[in-house]
Structure 1
């Protein structure tokens, strides 16, 4: 009987061994999760407030005809051809001239100039005589009045004559140039040319009330537009209103943009990133690898035993793509940047490219 019991025990142990050998491998060995990693490094990071607006030229003007006359579009010395849309002009450059002999004759500018010269000579003579006692003070004053009136008459004629030339008041670009046939008589008040100077531009902005303590005059701004996606222009906060709108709960301001190569054009819709904080030589990681749990923010790093370690972290400034790490990581930690979504603490991992 005892031998039979021994045989049954041995048989049961053998069956147990066979059953263990036939279990699926997944029940005895944890599969390694494929992940990608990158070493944590120090770098620079900036924190932004994002806004948008329409770029406007800092200087612009619409010039009209102030006198009537025959329209004569001038030649651009830079191209050797008549001025046209898109041409650059310099301050003081004559773009259009009006000719009207009757108007010029009516100014009598030469006679007014001669009258001024005579009045100046007469005043000098009266002044010399007064010093010698030859004339009274009243006679000297009358001579001075005549000289002054003659100067005003001459200067007024010069101003009216200057209106026959349309002159660029600042250096800029021709953005509108209505067509008139050369020699056609133009009346007063007709549009002649529109100029813009947009090597410096500005945009008007409205920001939420919560940002009023963060945004300050002089802060640097990064300007982008989809047509110049490879270029980032630099601007600054130039004006800020201290008032909060009771209707929109926003405050207004202006951003000035440096546009030396004229890549940004007036009227373009732009994105502006106002830099409110910036740090150099700090630990920076991608923002999308950070997870949030009951104990706060955490990321996964790979330990030497190829296991995932969930690290609780404290973050600093951040932007759309990156975050500063204040605590929880150190330089050259192997941060898991792909495959972390299903990991748990101490999960086995396999590093792939």
Structure 2
């Protein structure tokens, strides 16, 4: 019976009809699923196309323009004390941080040899004095003999030869006195030179100040034949310091004498110190191709918190503006995307119909192009472009003028496209 039924269905084509029906039902199901996916894609694309603007408020206020530079704290007057003599240090009388006065003895060198040389010069000076005294006595005798010979010659009692001999003896006596006086002067000069050399064996402070460094100890041999060795470093007054900063060549044109500054050091990073520019040097400093100029700032250090060599970062005030309109610098850099039309063939590259739902056409290309003389303001949720005139800037905010920009306007600084 089943065989007969199968032959009848085959003759009527019932099996092929069932097979085609199943195929169509499968395609219809696939189409429904793809349609749902395409509908979801289009809805999600609308969400992705939404734009969120980030804004900041325009403000009316004061602006201080500063130039930042780094440098080191140094004493106003620092002296390095050396020795002109070679020898052995006999004693050192000061140490680090000691307060000294001008003329105070810092150290003494061994002077045994110098004392002996001084004694020789004193003896030479005494011998020269004796020779001078002898020459002067001989001059007195020669003068007396000459007077007698002259008187006798005037009376015609003695010969002319005796007068000539007496006159020559007087001349020699005068010459001997002059020579002896010269020897005395030479001996005096040599004695004074030796005294000066001996005085250099005593190292004294030339200024009032504080000992910052000491590089010598008792018993150490000092060799000054090639270069004078540094024995002590003394700062004149730590209550008056100076900050030497390196200013970049791009900023040096804005720096002037008497400009105010605030600086900090690592030791007191929460304590700003005031300063004032006292000098801007013309000589350049070049390091790895970077050219800088040295600016000197006067610093009051009455409480002695600052120490020589501390690294400092200074903010120098170069301009001050009051009651001006200010906008964040990010607003001047912002520009909305500009849509660039694509060719029709590109628009339809995704195809149409069901394939178009699966692969929608790609959006138009967009770029951001703006002008540094315009701002974008969000008004009623719509970005509006406003032309302005830019002024000075402190790196975070910029002075603007012109246009219809007012205090409280919301300028656009950035945007977020989609979710």
* Shorter-chain TM-score range: 0.5 to 0.7
Alpha carbons 1:65, 1:166 under 8 Å: kept: no
Matched, 1:335 2:408: yes
For 1:1-353, list aligned pairs within 5 A.
40-41=60-61, 43=62, 45-48=64-67, 50-57=68-75, 59-61=78-80, 63-64=82-83, 66-69=85-88, 71-74=90-93, 83-98=94-109, 100-101=111-112, 103-108=114-119, 111=122, 142=179, 145-146=182-183, 148-178=185-215, 180=217, 184-189=218-223, 192-197=231-236, 199-201=240-242, 203=244, 205=246, 207-208=248-249, 210-211=250-251, 214=253, 218=257, 220=259, 222=261, 223-229=263-269, 230-241=272-283, 248=289, 250-261=290-301, 263-273=305-315, 277-281=318-322, 283=324, 285=326, 287=328, 290-292=331-333, 293=335, 294=370, 296-298=373-375, 313-327=388-402, 334-335=407-408
How far the C-alpha of 1:285 sits from its partner, in A, is: 3.6
On the 8 A contact 2:57/2:327 being kept in 1, the answer is: no
CA–CA separation in structure 2 for the residues paired with 1:68 and 1:238: 43
TM-score computed with the length of structure 2 as normaliser: 0.48
Indicate conservation of the 8 Å contact 1:53/1:203, yes or no. yes
Shift of 1:326: 4.4
Residues 234/69 of structure 1: CA separation in 2 closer, same or farther (3 Å cut): same
**What's the CA shift string for 1:291-337, capped at 9, x where partnerless?**
444463448699xx9x999865433222234444444589xx64369
Alpha carbons of 1:111 and 1:165: their partners in 2 closer, same or farther (altered >3 Å)? same
**Count of residues in Structure 1 that have an aligned counterpart in Structure 2:** 277
Shift of 1:160: 1.6
Answer whether contact 1:203 1:256 (CA < 8 A) is retained. yes
Q: What is the TM-score normalised by the length of structure 1?
A: 0.55
Shift in Å, 1:202: 5.7
Partner of 1:11: none
Extract unaligned runs of 5+ from structure 2.
1-52, 141-169, 224-228, 336-369
Q: Is the 8 A contact 2:99 2:209 kept in 1?
A: yes
Q: 1:40, 1:334 within 8 Å by CA — same for their partners in 2?
A: yes
Mark the CA change 1:94 to 1:36 in structure 2 (over 3 Å): closer, same or farther: same
How far off is 1:170 after superposition? 3.5
- Shift of residue 100, structure 1, vs aligned partner: 3.9
Aligned-pair CA distance for 1:152: 2.4
Deviations 1:162-191 (A, max 9, x none): 2222222334432222474xxx53423376
SS at match of 1:108: helix
The alignment's C-alpha RMSD in Å is: 5.1
Contact 1:221 1:237 in 2 (8 A): no
Aligned to 2:91, the other structure's residue is in SS state: strand
Q: 1:71 to 1:52 in 2, by over 3 A?
A: same
Q: 1:258/1:115 Cα in 2 relative to 1: closer, same or farther (>3 Å)? A: farther
Q: Point out the structure with the larger helix share.
A: 2
Deviation at 1:107, TM superposition (A): 1.8
> CA 1:291–1:96 in structure 2 vs 1: closer, same or farther (change >3 Å)?
same
